[in-house]
Amino acid sequence: KQEVTQIPAALSVPEGENLVLNCSFTDSAIYNLQWFRQDPGKGLTSLLLIQSSQREQTSGRLNASLDKSSGRSTLYIAASQPGDSATYLCAVIMRSGGYNKLIFGAGTRLAVHP
Amino acid sequence: EAQVTQNPRYLITVTGKKLTVTCSQNMNHEYMSWYRQDPGLGLRQIYYSMNVEVTDKGDVPEGYKVSRKEKRNFPLILESPSPNQTSLYFCASSLGTSGRRSYEQYFGPGTRLTVT
């Protein structure tokens, strides 16, 4: 059974720091991996989708990497800002019962203080 | 604007009183699903639908029903809510789910349900 773990569960950093959020999964037979951002009281916003054939994806100050063989993904946030404060979720996408299914980690709650 | 909408956003109800949470998407997506989010457990899938009149159970379907009579709508029905169904619920949709080129998931804003 696929299990997705995110470490750390919470992180507090001063503005301007570069930081790394970690996501690990137990079954490497995944199709893709998706990183989301969740703001309090709001839904999930997709940040990056990495297909299994890719090693990384970049969007602005965000860079996500994927190493299927070791079951790991990292989300790198450069020059963090207070507006980056949110919960970050990773989800692996894998085949289950004839369709592609998302399995989520519990998230990393990030606080960036001025 | 492409979006997934849910109603209501907040709901407080009592045990046993039937309720429906609506979900609608305007992107002509085939695939829709419902998740619940609980502290420390992440998001868990309740039900999903691959197209009109095609639905199936996710990981935590007990106590829930769904229907997919139209492509754009996917309501979640709690016939007899109980306190353990107090949670944050999300509806999601994507263009499709087949093949290795998975399509990006779009999520609604969430519905916070409290059952007393």
DSSP string of chain A, one letter each residue: ---EEEE-SEEEEETT--EEEEEEES----SEEEEEEE-TTS-EEEEEEEETT-SEEEETTEEEEEETTTTEEEEEE-S--GGG-EEEEEEEEEEETTEEEEEE---EEEEEE-
Q: Which of A36, A43, A46 sits opposite B108 (nearest CB)?
A: A43
- Does residue A51 register a pLDDT over 60? yes
Q: Which of B40, B45, B102 sits opposite A106 (nearest CB)?
A: B40
Model confidence pLDDT, tens digit, residues B41-77:
889 999 999 899 999 999 899 999 999 999 999 999 9
What is the C-alpha separation between A74 and A61, in angstroms, rounded? 14
A107 min Cα distance to partner chain B (Å)? 7
Partner-chain contact A107 B90, CB within 8 Å:
no
Model confidence pLDDT, tens digit, residues B84-109:
999 999 999 988 766 555 567 889 99
Angle at B45 between CA B41 and CA B51, to 5 degrees: 165
| CB pairs < 8 Å spanning A and B | 61
- Does residue A53 register a pLDDT over 90? no
Q: Which of A45, A99, A105 sits opposite B50 (nearest CB)?
A: A99
Partner-chain contact A99 B98, CB within 8 Å:
yes
- Average pLDDT, stretch A5-18? 95
Range of weakest confidence among A37-46, A91-100, B57-66, B94-103: B94-103
Interface test with B, best of A46, A93, A108 (most B CBs within 10 A): A93
Residues in contact with B80: Cβ distance below 8 Å, sequence separation at least 6, in sequence order: B15, B16, B18, B63
